[in-house]
Amino acid sequence: AEALCPPLLALFVDWPLLLWTSVAVMVPVLLTLWCSAQRSKWKSHRKEFFRQSKHGWHYTDLFSKPTYCCVCSQHILHGAFCDCCGVCADEQCLRRADHSLACKEIMAPCSPDGSMEHRWVRGNVPLASYCAVCKQQCGTQPKLCDLRCVWCQTTVHDDCIDALADHLCNLGEFHHLIIPPHYLYHVNKLRRRHPEEYAKLAPSRGSGWTPVLVLANTRSGNNMGEGLLGEFRTLLNPVQVFDLSRLTPSKALQLCTLLPPGSVRVLVCGGDGTVGWVLDAIDSMKLKGQDPFIPRVTILPLGTGNDLSNTLGWGAGYAGEIPVEQVLRNVLEAEVVRMDRWKVQVASKGAYFRKPKVLSMNNYFSVGPDALMALSFHTHREKTPSFFSSRIINKAVYFLYGTKDCLVQECKDLDKRIELELDGERLDLPSLEGIIVCNISYWGGGCRLWEGMGDEPCPPTRLDDGLLEVMGVFGSFHCAQIQVKLANPVRLGQAHTVRLLLKSSKMPMQVDGEPWAQGPCTITITHKTQALMLYHSAEQTDDDDGSSASETESATPQDSPRPPASRTTHNI
């Protein structure tokens, strides 16, 4: 015992040194293991882009048109169809279809001269399709007949197919938007080398090649996302189409690193919240030092409000009124515009050792009755999401919450509870219940808030001028009057920096439709960056003179200087 005491005592005395030595050894080891795990995740995800093609089966109890099994050729009422290649099969033939009928190839080699053969699928051609040879209607006989190319969508009669024996596939009308399978085949061969070598493959696709990635939120609006995903897989390479309920935007956008920088367009099928989610993912990828791909983002509005979509000319809501083919044509013809993005910092009072909450803003920030309606709607939708599956139902619920607040007036005396500064200048507020800070011209599901009814001149709004429009409302009833053009908001001014100080009690707030209840705090809104968006000139846009549509395709947010300072007005 006496012999063991000195070593044990020495160990007890030196235990801090032993602890720090262990930490110094373990931290690098753990960090190395974590980085290795992250790399393996990226490698496994990257392999998904080069996976083997397989059918994406969808079951249906009743086909919408006369349908025949591609295996046994019998007429079927219910069964399964592949939304990538269009193959249909009944339940008994489904296993045979998986083994005997190949799906649309995600990647495949091409001939030495770069040409690509047609990939024909027999039967169940689209309605009102015409033969590429004899120009007569296809699919009119009551049997499994005629053929369709899954890439260029060419249809041809069984008797006319020999005339196209030497005809090559050019990927059809949307060849500028499609990632061809042979491109991914060559990328797969080069992926062990430096990624810059991918750019050598781009000239083979021509100068106008602008591949599009489709990111759909199947929970938005009228739940049309699932059907749209299938239609886009039919027209494009299935690897270009992503379901955001299964894959985050950050992972989907990794495909951009395999494509020429600056050429990618991203079609977001969802609401304004989904668009913000995708733009945040783009920003985070740039911060991580990825190649400066900077995709151009466009919108197919499936949400409830869709104010950003309205501002960019893509409409107030998509309900299938135009075919998906026309949607892709609009994407091809769209022009590039810049859009300011803003940083919203929320520093809670008394939280000296806690970092401020930082949010990104594309549309607007508000405190008051409209944020209260959004918060009530959001709370109930989280409890029963299946009930809020229709755009009409969602707007009706908003109306009910607004009517309730007209009677209760939960946000009254806001001017006594909040201080507002525009570019460092404090404003004396009238008796308001709400303050709205806008980056875009539309608000509240289609209302041009700043311009109002046009009864008095006001500085125009722009997406790229580095200015915010700040307005006040007197309550929920005043908001309703503004939306039906019976009243104007109180125009408080335009500013580069907005600061709000909430002095007491909790107030409902929202940023781009994401609401929360906030206690005493300081909110600072400053310019963050600019995003490149696609603008549809056929619709009314944020700039009545169309000047923002003059941005060139080669421009990037980082290359352009900040817009010159515009006038700041305080009209109360």
Mean pLDDT value of segment 505-520: 88
Is the model's pTM score more than 0.95? no
Tens of pLDDT, residues 227-282: 899 999 999 999 999 999 888 999 999 888 888 877 899 999 998 889 999 999 99
Q: Which of 233, 225, 226 is nearest to 269 (CA)?
A: 225
The structure tokens 């495909």 sit at 255
Tokens at residue 15, please? Answer: 């235990």
> Which residue type does 186 have?
H
**Spatial separation of the C-alpha atoms in residues 393 and 365, rounded to whole Å:** 24
Q: Distances from the Cα of 172 to the Cαs of 62, 155, 235, 317, 378, in angstroms?
A: 30, 11, 9, 28, 43
Mean pLDDT value of segment 510-515: 88
Give the up-direction half-sphere exposure of residue 526: CA atoms within 13 A in the CB hemisphere.
6
Give the up-direction half-sphere exposure of residue 516: CA atoms within 13 A in the CB hemisphere.
8
Q: Predicted confidence band at 111 (pLDDT cuts at 50, 70, 90)?
A: low
Check for a shared fold between 107-172 and 341-530. Answer: no
pLDDT given at position 338: 93
CATH of 42-104, one of 3.20.20.70, 3.40.50.970, 2.120.10.30, 3.30.60.20: 3.30.60.20
Q: Predicted confidence band at 446 (pLDDT cuts at 50, 70, 90)?
A: confident
Mean pLDDT, the chain, rounded, equals 79
pLDDT given at position 227: 86
**Lowest mean pLDDT: which of 26-30, 35-39, 389-393?**
35-39
Q: Which fold has domain 341-530?
A: Tumour Suppressor Smad4 (2.60.200)
Write the CB contacts of 212 (distance below 8 Å, at least 6 apart in sequence): 177, 236, 240, 264, 265, 266, 267, 328, 331
Write a three-state SS string for 230-248: HHHHHHCCHHHEEECCCCC
pLDDT given at position 541: 36
pLDDT given at position 236: 95
More confident residue, 446 or 372: 372
Tens of pLDDT, residues 130-170: 999 999 999 889 999 999 999 999 999 999 999 998 889 99
CA angle 79, 84, 86 (to 5 degrees): 50
Q: Say yes or no to pLDDT of 524 above 90.
A: yes
**Lowest mean pLDDT: which of 63-67, 360-364, 413-417?**
413-417
CA angle 37, 39, 41 (to 5 degrees): 70
Q: Say yes or no to pLDDT of 127 above 50.
A: yes
DSSP H helices, 413-515, are 414-417, 476-483
Q: Distances from the Cα of 242 to the Cαs of 216, 235, 266, 283, in angstroms?
A: 6, 14, 11, 19
Q: Distances from the Cα of 346 to the Cαs of 354, 499, 520, in angstroms?
A: 11, 10, 10
Q: Predicted confidence band at 454 (pLDDT cuts at 50, 70, 90)?
A: low
- What size, in residues, is the chain? 572
- Identify the bridge partners of residue 335 per DSSP, sorted by sequence position: 535
- Taking the domains of the chain in order of start, what are their residue ranges? 42-104, 107-172, 174-189+196-333, 341-530
Q: Say yes or no to pLDDT of 378 above 70.
A: no
Mean pLDDT value of segment 437-460: 79
Tens of pLDDT, residues 286-329: 655 454 568 899 999 987 778 999 999 998 888 888 999 999 99
Q: Predicted confidence band at 213 (pLDDT cuts at 50, 70, 90)?
A: very high
- Most distant CA pair in the chain: distance in Å? 106
* Spatial contact of 291 and 262, defined as CB atoms under 8 Å apart: no
Domain formed by 107-172, architecture: 2-Layer Sandwich (3.30)
CATH of 174-189+196-333, one of 2.40.30, 2.40.10, 3.30.1360, 3.40.50: 3.40.50
Tokens at residue 478, please? Answer: 């005043």
* C-alpha Rg value of the chain to the nearest Å: 29
